[in-house]
Amino acid sequence: MIQDFTPARAYRGMSPDERRAQRRSKLIQAAIAVYGERGYRQATVKAVCEAAGLTERYFYESFENSEDLLVTSFNSVTYTVFGEIVAAARDAGRSRKGRARAMLEAYFGALQRDPLSARLFLVEIRGVSRAVDKAFDAALRAIGAEVARQVAAPGALDDELLHAGIVGGVMHIALRWIDQGYQPPLDKVADTALRMALVLAAPKAV
């Protein structure tokens, strides 16, 4: 029997792989919106697919299950904000304090600009499963390492527990800030968080 190896045809100028990637992107964006509005535990695969304008068949083309989509959506939000934070630090110059301030303003600004993503980043990712917790921890470690690289004095560069404490503390400030309706204003909350973040920039006590 001769098998047909004719390449799959493009549709509307897009290859099958491009269409698959487009559907995957739609599902991720829909998940961010649905999880941000309803919460992950109140959302269903069907609801996400409806928001994306796709059938459930296409969901399983890209994701094993809803947790897989949750992790992917979380990473999409997290590393987008991460990129903004890194760019802000790069543009802020050589001062540790200046870089810390710029990173915090970028972080809080991103949360305020997109409340649905903020909920996914700060709330919905917590306590779902061990696999999801690992994704959350990996993101925090990556963020902590970059913050330390940009801000920390030499004696604090390798103190991962301190990095975790600073990142976790900033996230708790963000949660309270959001709960208070994004009050006080962004510059004030950045000032508060900066006071804590500058612990990294201080010379290590002997």
Residue 52 lies in a domain: yes
- 4-20: b (≥16 Cβ within 10 Å) or e: eeeeeeeeeeeeeeeee
Is 110 in the same domain as 41?
A: no
Both 78 and 59 in one domain: the answer is no
Q: Are residues 23 and 34 in the same domain?
A: yes
Provide the CB-side half-sphere exposure for 52 (13 A, CA): 25
- Examine residue 33 and state whether it is found in any structural domain, yes or no: yes
DSSP H or E stretch at residue 43: none
Per-residue pLDDT tens for 131-142? 899 999 999 999
pLDDT of residue 5 exceeding 70, the answer is: no
- 2 occurs within a structural domain: no
| pTM of the predicted structure, to 2 decimals | 0.85
CATH of the domain at 188: 1.10.357.10
| Closest by CA position to 197, among listed 111, 99, 121 | 99
Q: Does residue 59 sit in the same domain as residue 72? A: no
Sequence-separated (6 or more) residues with CB below 8 Å from residue 58: 23, 27, 49
Cβ count near 154 (within 10 Å): 8
- Do 117 and 41 share a structural domain? no
Rounded CA gap, 28 and 47, in Å? 12
80 shares its domain with 112: yes
| Chain-centre distance for alpha carbon 52 | 20
Q: Are residues 173 and 103 in the same domain?
A: yes
Query: Is residue 170 situated within a structural domain?
Result: yes
Give yes or no for a contact between 99 and 93, defined as CB atoms under 8 angstroms apart. Answer: yes
pLDDT higher than threshold 50 for residue 4: no
Do 32 and 106 lie in a common domain?
no
Mean pLDDT to the nearest integer, 17-42: 94
Number of domains in the chain: 2
Residue 206 lies in a domain: no
Instruction: Clarify whether residues 178 and 103 are in a common domain.
Output: yes
Give CA torsion, residues 42, 46, 48, 49, to 10 deg.
180
Using the predicted structure, report yes or no on whether residue 2 has a pLDDT greater than 90. no
pLDDT of residue 178 exceeding 70: yes
5 assigned to some structural domain: no
| 21 and 42 co-located in one domain | yes
What CATH number does the domain containing 48 carry?
1.10.10.60
- Asked whether residue 21 falls in the same domain as residue 112, the answer is no
Q: What integer is the mean pLDDT of 189-195?
A: 96
Q: Per mean pLDDT, which range of 4-18, 53-67, 78-92, 116-130 is the poorest?
A: 4-18
Tell me the residue range of the domain where 20 lies: 13-63
pLDDT at 125: 87
The answer to whether residue 36 is domain-embedded is: yes
Task: Tell whether 160 and 84 lie within a shared domain.
Answer: yes
